[in-house]
């Protein structure tokens, strides 16, 4: 069983859709960067990575959810991925500046 499992929302919706979507932001770039980091740091096996559909709080996307803690990150950019990997996955310390407010997630 992986120590942590990262879910990256890559959901798309048609232009003008009232809910928006993570896919209209940088979700694809974020997922690609996680893939790159998983390869580079040889995280496969110890950690899992999944591109997923809508996680709920679309307006705060691109969203990334990490289990087992159930930590939701919002507004994630490609350049934020290194911090999530180094600090949260490898360091066990969630990146507080990227967390969505609790009420958005629950
Ligand atoms: S589209 Fe990503 S959380 Fe809804």
Please give the DSSP secondary-structure letter assigned to residue 87: I
Any atom of ligand 1 within 6 Å of the Cβ of 61: yes
Q: Which two tokens stand for residue 8?
A: 């990256």
pLDDT in tens, the chain (106 residues): 999 999 999 999 999 999 999 999 899 999 999 999 999 999 999 999 999 999 999 989 999 999 999 999 999 999 999 999 999 999 999 999 999 998 887 6
In this structure, the number of other CB atoms found within 10 A of the CB of residue 101 comes to: 11
Bridge partners for 9 per DSSP = 52
Closest protein CA for atom 1 of ligand 1? 21
pLDDT at res. 106 = 64
Q: Which two tokens stand for residue 14?
A: 């048609």
- Superfamily the domain 4-105 falls into: Glutaredoxin (3.40.30.10)
Any atom of ligand 1 within 6 Å of the Cβ of 71: no
pLDDT at res. 50 = 98
DSSP secondary structure string, 27-67?
Answer: HHHHHHHHHHHHHHTT-BTTEEEEEES--S-GGG-S-EEEE
Q: How many helices (H) and strands (E) does the chain have?
A: 3, 4
pLDDT at res. 102 = 84
pTM of the predicted model as reported, rounded to 2 decimal places:
0.95
Q: Where are the domains of the chain?
A: 4-105
């Amino acid at each position: 069983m992986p120590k942590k499992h990262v879910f990256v929302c890559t959901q798309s919706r048609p232009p003008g859709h009232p809910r928006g979507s993570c896919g209209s932001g940088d979700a694809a770039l974020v997922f690609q960067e996680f893939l790159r980091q998983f390869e580079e740091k040889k995280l496969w096996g110890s950690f899992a990575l999944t591109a997923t559909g809508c996680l709920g709080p679309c307006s705060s996307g691109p969203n990334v959810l990490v289990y087992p803690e159930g930590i939701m990150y919002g507004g994630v950019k490609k350049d934020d991925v290194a911090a999530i990997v180094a600090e949260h996955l490898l360091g066990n310390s969630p990146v507080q500046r990227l967390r969505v407010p609790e009420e958005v997630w629950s």
